[in-house]
Amino acid sequence: MTRRLRRTLFLFLLTPLLYALVGAPQAASAHTELVSSSPKDGAHLKKAPDRLTLTFDEPVALDDVRVLTVDGDRLPVTRAAKGGTRAVRVALAAPAHGDLAVVWSVVDEEDGHPSSGRIALSIGAPAKKAATTGGDQAASPVPTPSPSVRKGLVAARWIGYLALAVFLGGLGFLALLWPRGADEPRARALLALAWVAGLLATVVSVGLQGAYTTLGGFRDALRLGTYADMLTTEPGIVLAARTLLWVLAAVVLGALLQGGARTSRSPGWRVGALAVTFGLLRTTGMTGHNSEGGEPTWGAVADFVHLLGASLWIGGLAMLTLAVLPRKRVGELAEVIPGYSRLAAVSVAGIVCAGLVLAWQVVGSYHALLHTSYGQLLLLKTGILGCVLLAAYASRQWVRTRLDLAVLLRGDAATVRPFGYSVAAETGLVLVVLAVTSLLVTADPGR
């Protein structure tokens, strides 16, 4: 094992421990859901109530709870006398006789996902049969997030994940394996493009997340008011912190572009790059499902290892495919490819181990794995990841058995072509894995 690889492995093991020492989120249980209401849904009351009490399965902020009448009027929400921070009281203006229906929605404080439902009451004389087939029942459907907003949020997250992996993994690739690559125009352009995409995806995600949590439309994602409201919530603060970290990353990138290979070898620059890496990975994990379950600390550490391994693997793969291989320099291939092969093996091991911890932490049971949309998406991701590992194994076998021959033949095209095919297949499948990962973030684990 080379000295440089030992340093990489040490860093790989040290950063999750630092993350655990800095702090881990509190326990949560999937998305916030309604546990009970008083009066109960469907109750028949002789007298009109003046208030409705809603109790949720975890603490909620008053600003995150919205209760609307069938006409779309928002009802006042205050803290209930009993139930602590899990219960709220809704002031009602119920009719003396007839039916009363309200729709509620609540935003999870941890990950910003909305949940919603409907409560209907009968007052005085029994509700007419038509009321269950038309009237208020049909006039007040349960609010749900806009499909266009959800698709936009998934796309923004996909771009954000890809940009994060390419940028952080690319910096690691240059610092650990290919310092002179900091002078290569392709490598410099790749890092700059990843930085721009990461910053824009994060900024756009603030508006989309705001529209998603308030069950608004796509136009709401473009309003300044949505951004202002979102930035007062916990998920919004995390996104704002991630935006600032991307701005700080511009300093690291600028120094690399200005100083080139000399900067990539500088200890001071590497410390700055490590700090930005730590911050971006942590803020990305804080908006996921890793804190859900009985052991949120281990879930947070596992998520950090998962993101770090994926970044080193995917970012190094992008740098290898788009910057190293097109140069067709035999000496560089002999120097860089074996190092990346070992780094990728360590990264994949971390991804698999951390992924198993996260799967058990978030899903919680075999039944949920097989019978929930989150579990099924997770199985799909695992299947695609298996195909990626097969392509990666083919690449690693080529390095072991054919790299020396390719060096002797000075990069003969026929000899190098199988390695290029396996790397291209690995890259394409990784993009699909990231797409499924983006869907998982907006899916309900259903614990």
- Per residue in 47-104, pLDDT tens? 878 888 989 888 888 878 888 777 767 888 888 888 788 888 888 876 667 777 888 8
What integer pLDDT is reported at residue 191 of this predicted model? Answer: 97
What is the average per-residue pLDDT within 200-205? Answer: 95
What integer pLDDT is reported at residue 254 of this predicted model? Answer: 96
What is the average per-residue pLDDT within 18-31? Answer: 43
Specify the CATH number of the domain 34-139: 2.60.40.1220
Range list for CATH 2.60.40.1220 in the chain: 34-139
- Per residue in 231-281, pLDDT tens? 888 888 889 999 999 999 999 999 999 999 999 999 999 999 999 999 999
pLDDT bin (cut points 50, 70, 90) of residue 438 is: confident
Q: Give the long-range contacts of residues 253-261, CB within 8 A, separation 24 or more.
A: 253/191, 253/192, 253/195, 256/171, 256/174, 256/182, 256/188, 256/191, 257/188, 257/191, 257/192, 259/182, 260/182, 260/183, 261/179, 261/180, 261/181, 261/182, 261/183
- Outline where 214-329 has alpha helix (H): 224-230, 234-259, 261-264, 267-285, 296-319
- Residue 155 clears pLDDT 80, i.e. is over it: yes
pTM of the model: 0.74
- Three-class secondary structure of residue 71 per DSSP: coil
- Residue 123 clears pLDDT 50, i.e. is over it: yes
- Outline where 134-260 has alpha helix (H): 135-139, 147-176, 185-213, 224-230, 234-259
- Residue 7 clears pLDDT 80, i.e. is over it: no
- Per residue in 337-392, pLDDT tens? 888 888 988 988 888 888 888 877 777 677 777 777 777 888 888 888 888 778 77
